[in-house]
Amino acid sequence: MRAALPGALLLLTSLLLTGCEEAEMGPAATAPAVPHSGISFPDGWRFSADDEPVRAERGAVSTTDYYASRVGLDILEQGGTAMDAAIAVSFALAVVNPSAGNIGGGGFMVTRTADGETSALDYREMAPLAAHRDMYLDEEGELTDASVLGHLAAGVPGTVMGMWRAHERYGTLPWEALVQPAIDLAEGFEVRERLARSLRGSEESLRIYDTTREIFLPGDAPPEVGDTFRQPDLARTLTRIRDDGPDGFYRGETADYIVAEMERGGGIITHEDLERYDALWRDPVTFSYRGYTVTSMPPSSSGGPTMALMAHILEDYDLTGMGWQSEEMIHVMAEAWKRAYSDRNQVLADTDFVDVPLEEMVSREYAQRRGADIDMDRATPSEQIGPGLEVGEPTETTHYSIVDEAGNAVAVTTTINSGYGSKVTVAGAGFLLNNEMDDFAAKPGFPNQFGLVQGEQNAIEPGKRMLSAMSPTVVTNPDGELFFVTGTPGGSTIITTVFQTIVNVVDFGMSVSEAVNAPRVHHQHLPDQLYWENGGLRSEVVEGLEARGHTLQQRGGTSGDVQAIMVLSDGSLAAHSDPRLGGTALGY
């Protein structure tokens, strides 16, 4: 078994196959078309219901970036498992997708092995030991922007330790072989449109700090399509990680660079913070929806519990009979979402620090009580919906999905929070730091940058992990077999986006490409607005929802970036990358 593809060969292969996903499918290229549901999207919607997913017989990878998908597929073709590929993809995304891929942030991983074992890995960032409850308030008690921009916004990064813990438990290929492809990419890769567009769109913010401008705006301008983008400092950091594992990041030279950057910019992460960080294996949240079993993340993610509550409320309603994206269907989903987000925002938090009524929140009995006051004729104003549970003591992200030949599945969502995180690049180390501290309730009862109004449970404490919406998810069918792997970035919209992909395939029989391409809606309790993607709802549905009392807000741009893989009835795989941001699904 080869340890890794040589860097030059990896890069050459990537460039030769640019834009040629069909070349990756091998024998599966002749497979029959995937059945589609026959559901039609609104006339004004910009994505097709007829897109064919990538077909594969042995393994598939779907990520937001072609190079990262190619790295993952290379690992599978070398005999690595889905878990091996997930580790390699994570490091590759740190190079080719700097707005969200990271070693300066954190994330969550949900796995399902071929024999049915499930696990959840929490490598969320932690508040530094010097953090305190009111650290982002000014003298008048008002919120500042320090939780979003600059050195003080950074939590202690978790990605490197997370990948190490994943390798300890599930890795089959050598650690060095999984980090090396990212090093090869950091030494230089050809810029594609997705990265060029991202850097152009963020050029102003990338100029705020010199260390960031020098790396991401070489020659004082964003790289253009076809340019070779080199990140030598990052290559050296990744080399230390390859050679020394987590000690190559949390101790030694890289740690010195991080602490020096903190001291230079008024941040508070110390050597002690870095040395004490660890990633944690937790019991995943597992719940049933119409006979399918859904496995997702527990706190410090809110994804699993919130989706469980939504699902159990909505199981009492015949969504299929209502019709996809009918006025009635969207109304009842929005009402369920309001109630679920109200509980999410007030009672969920890091369970190592606060008591969370998790068992009750994910129960069918509670869902029946919680949804009992839904009026099918009128929207309930959000101000009338408080949390239904009592507690004890007090948008830029990326997702990828992988399934291997044996049937192992991995769903990973990772982030540095908003686009390019805190905008601070660690001098000498070449990577951006997160601004995850904003995911705490910096001022309980007031909205964060995603509009989420959260309570005391999620207030800042030293060593605490901030609440997240990230929801990497694996679904098995009523026979207990792997069926669907899904996830997305999108800040507060992550949970409703992931849930809608599940509804699309379970309730409406959509193909993976239909489920991903379909227009989405979103409600998060506060603000009391039902969001819909531009062109994604028929005018008569909008009018009907407004007549029921909903306040609708059309959103431009994108809503999520789903990466999904479906296991078909013949055992083959169908993978699809969201066209909203231009990712790539590959298979063999």
- Average pLDDT estimate for 499-514: 98
Average pLDDT of every residue of the chain: 93
Entry field: residues in the chain = 588
Place of tokens 């994604």: 536
pLDDT at 10: 38
Percent of the chain with pLDDT over 70: 93
CA atoms within 13 A on the CB side of 571: 7
Query: H or E segment at 531?
Result: strand 530-533
Q: What is the pLDDT of residue 32?
A: 77
Rounded to whole angstroms, how far apart are CA atoms 550 and 545?
6
Q: What is the pLDDT of residue 336?
A: 98
- What pLDDT score was predicted for residue 278? 98
For 202, phi and psi rounded to 5 degrees?
-110, 15
| Res. 573 pLDDT band, cuts 50 70 90 | very high
Walk me through the domains of the chain, giving residue ranges and CATH numbers.
7-29+53-281+416-446 (no CATH), 282-396+470-587 (3.60.20.40)
27 vs 448, which has greater pLDDT?
A: 448
Rounded distance between C-alpha atoms, residue 75 and residue 86, angstroms: 9
Instruction: Report the pLDDT averaged over residues 317-324.
Output: 98
Query: Which pair of structure tokens corresponds to residue 440?
Result: 């705490």
Q: What is the pLDDT of residues 150-208, one digit of tens each?
A: 999 999 999 999 999 999 999 999 999 999 999 999 999 999 999 999 999 999 999 99
Sheet containing 482-486, strands listed edge to edge, beginning at the edge strand earlier in sequence = 54-56, 573-577, 563-567, 482-486, 473-476, 292-296, 285-289
pLDDT in tens, 517-551: 999 999 999 899 999 999 999 999 999 999 999 99
Active site positions, annotated: 397
* Range 382-385, long-range pairs (CB < 8 A, 24+ positions): 382/338, 382/342, 382/525, 382/526, 382/527, 382/528, 383/528, 385/338, 385/339, 385/342, 385/525
With CA atoms as reference, report the closest residue to 240 among 189, 166, 185, 176: 176
Distance CA 333, CA 99 (A): 31
Q: Is the pLDDT of residue 11 over 60?
A: no
Residue-level pLDDT at 390:
66
Is pLDDT of 557 > 90?
no
Question: What is the model's pLDDT at position 16?
Answer: 32
pLDDT in the model for residue 446 = 80
Q: For residue 539, is the peptide bond before it cis, meaning its omega torsion is within 30 degrees of 0? A: no
CA distance 157 to 89: 18
Write the pLDDT tens digit of every residue in 380-427.
999 999 888 865 433 579 999 999 999 999 999 999 999 999 999 999
Alpha-carbon distances of 395 from 90, 214, 493, 525, 541, rounded to whole Å: 18, 24, 9, 18, 28
